[in-house]
Amino acid sequence: MSDAKLFTPARAGAIELKNRVVMAPLTRNRARAEDDAPFELHAEYYGQRADAGLIITEASQISPQGKGYAWTPGIYSDAQIEGWKKVTDAVHDKGGRIVIQLWHVGRISHPVLQPEGQDPVAPSAIAANSKSFDGTQFVDTPTPRALSVEEIPGIVADYRKAAENARKAGFDGIEVHAANGYLIDQFLRDGSNKREDHYGGSVENRARFLKEVMDAVVDVWGAGRVGVRLSPFSSANDIVDSSPQETFSHVVNLLNGYDLAYLHLVEGQTGGPRDIPEGGDLAALYALFDGTTMGNNGYDRQTAIDAVHNEAIDLVAFGRPFISNPDLVDRLAKDAEWNELDPDTLYGGGTKGYTDYPTLGQSQVAAE
């Protein structure tokens, strides 16, 4: 076993972690079609991965309006709370810690997924060159409807209710999804936010919606159990900003006012190159933050060990490696081989490619 700092206990605000390896949020599109609720299959999946220092669930919509893809789970109904309670019980029974990622996709949706076939909503009526999955095929995202000022408090209230529901479901905390071109990120970026009211224009105004969401969810949970995910230099879902370093420096300073559990940054392009554009400085953003930092994007064993050892970040989030390796922490510690990922089973389906990947011990027994 490795004695590297990556495998030592840590704290993320009020959440005690047995190691610094985090399971990143991973959309898998396996919620029940009739009510977008997780069920026993999800409990098995997350329970298998409870050796992670922290599990961040797949993104979960805060309301029917927040949905952008077929078969993604929500956290707004009694059935969804009940389903997530099975998951948290399974993780806690194995000594794990788990938070739920709260999600509103904004313009990255389609009327077929929206209540009563309505248009998706966004800060401004600007279409994204992106796709949504309607349950049959990938479809272009249409021009959204710009939210009125009067509607925004209702969405903030949906975040609050989702945070309350997460408590009922037994989570250890929540993560606010403010990354990857979804609704909060759409407000933050001047390419998607052309509003002329107090939610648009200056970076202070563009960050107002995030601030209101944070005020609401921290009021429910206390700051030490709330994390935030940002993707400062990612163009995921056709998101752009004229000065991301300036924008996200302001955002990180804003978040410092909450004494959060952690700040979770996507380093470079979401699920892509780690390159940072000219004028961008990821290390400077980490240095601005007063609390626990979490890095995400393309880490392997050695880069993760080095990043934590050198105190570049405190925690490392692994995504796809956790899909095919339920015992990823053990494999990392032993420098063991990883299972090969089956890309054909990433989204939708049942147990295949979800709960049937073997652990290291199972693989060794099978080889004997």
Catalytic one among 182, 199, 299, 357? 182
The DSSP symbol for 225 reads G
Token pair, residue 81, equals 């709370």
Tell me how far apart the alpha carbons of residues 261 and 174 are, in angstroms, rounded to a whole number. Answer: 9
Mark out the alpha helices in the chain (DSSP H runs): 40-48, 78-93, 152-168, 183-188, 203-206, 208-221, 244-256, 282-288, 301-309, 320-324, 328-334, 360-367
Tell me how far apart the alpha carbons of residues 321 and 338 are, in angstroms, rounded to a whole number. Answer: 8
Token pair, residue 212, equals 């209101």
Token pair, residue 308, equals 């934590």
Q: How far apart are the first and last CA of the chain?
A: 22
Closest CA to 252 of 265, 242, 233: 265
Tell me how far apart the alpha carbons of residues 317 and 121 are, in angstroms, rounded to a whole number. Answer: 30
Q: How many CA atoms lie less than 13 Å away from 119 in the CB half-sphere?
A: 12
Is 182 marked active-site? Answer: yes
CA distances from 112 to 39, 44, 158, 201, 227 (A): 24, 30, 21, 32, 31
Catalytic residues: 182
